């Protein structure tokens, strides 16, 4: 859903940073690594302490590295596939840190087991969502579908967490976790069914 905004960020808003990093000789892989470390630090240090809105600001500052590194690689004419592999792998770490940080918040600060479990469900389903697409495409199928892809999950967590903490309205991020848990689970099911449909379809020659 939110992928449509990539062109704006990469082509306009973040272009000065992309050009500066290339001029300084910074590798896209370094940007990917620093971005992941920043997201993980913001989530795992701030969230468990109850500093939700502050953590969201830190995380948001580093999340944009996910748009910068790919645009840098394309502009530099980089053709190897290691960057894509590294980016996808570290994305899983960043996602786990975000929902893991929320789980720790509910365990240590809010002391709410229900939302602790929901945060863990979001963590697990988010990982399975990405794995299902990766494995499906590895087997030669199209698995890109679903209601909650990675950008949607990030925005769906960070925005309610920011305003919920800043305005002292915890219901915002509590409702968001319910929605994300449901949508992430539905997305996993959608991808499984899409791959199943393709896998069980008769060969073109038979049809």
Q: What percent of the chain has pLDDT over 70?
A: 92
pLDDT at residue 125 greater than cutoff 90: yes
Mean pLDDT, residues 140-151 taken together: 90
pLDDT in tens, 17-39: 888 899 999 999 999 999 999 99
The residues annotated with a catalytic role in the active site are 91
Position 128 scores a pLDDT of: 95
With bands split at pLDDT 50, 70 and 90, how would you rate the model's confidence at 1?
very low
Domains, the chain, ordered by start: 24-200 (1.20.120.1760)
Instruction: For residues 6 and 19, give the distance between their C-alpha atoms in angstroms, rounded to a whole number.
Output: 17
pLDDT at residue 4 greater than cutoff 60: no
pLDDT in tens, 65-121: 878 888 888 888 887 889 889 999 999 999 999 999 999 999 999 999 999 999 999
- Number of other residues whose CB lies within 10 A of the CB of residue 39: 28
DSSP 49: G
With bands split at pLDDT 50, 70 and 90, how would you rate the model's confidence at 203?
confident
Structure tokens at 82: 């290691």
With bands split at pLDDT 50, 70 and 90, how would you rate the model's confidence at 138?
very high
pLDDT at residue 8 greater than cutoff 80: no
**Reduced to 3 DSSP states, what percent helix, strand and coil does the chain have, rounded to the nearest 5?**
80, 0, 20
CB 119 within 8 A of CB 103: yes
What is the overall mean pLDDT for the chain? 90
Nearest CA among 137, 138, 151, 148 for reference residue 188: 148
pLDDT at residue 12 greater than cutoff 80: no
Residue 2 CA to chain centroid, in angstroms?
11
Q: Which residues contact 36 (CB under 8 A, 6 or more apart)?
A: 62, 65, 90, 91, 93, 94
């Amino acid at each position: 859903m939110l992928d449509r905004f990539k062109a704006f960020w990469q082509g306009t808003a973040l272009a000065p940073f992309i050009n500066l990093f290339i001029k300084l000789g910074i590798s896209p892989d370094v940007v990917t690594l620093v971005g992941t470390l920043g997201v993980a630090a913001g989530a795992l240090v701030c969230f468990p302490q109850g500093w939700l809105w502050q953590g969201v600001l830190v995380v948001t500052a580093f999340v944009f590295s996910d748009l910068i590194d790919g645009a840098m690689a394309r502009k530099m004419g980089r053709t190897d596939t290691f960057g894509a592999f590294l980016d996808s792998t570290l994305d899983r770490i960043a996602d786990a840190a975000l929902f893991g940080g929320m789980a720790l918040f509910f365990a240590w600060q809010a002391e709410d087991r229900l939302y602790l479990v929901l945060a863990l469900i979001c963590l697990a389903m988010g990982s399975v969502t990405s794995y299902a697409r990766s494995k499906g495409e590895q087997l030669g199928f199209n698995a890109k579908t679903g209601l909650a892809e990675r950008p949607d999950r990030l925005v769906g967590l960070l925005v309610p967490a920011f305003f919920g903490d800043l305005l002292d309205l915890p219901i915002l991020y509590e409702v968001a976790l319910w929605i994300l848990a449901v949508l992430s689970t539905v997305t996993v099911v959608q991808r499984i069914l899409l791959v199943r449909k393709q896998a069980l379809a008769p060969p073109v020659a038979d049809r």
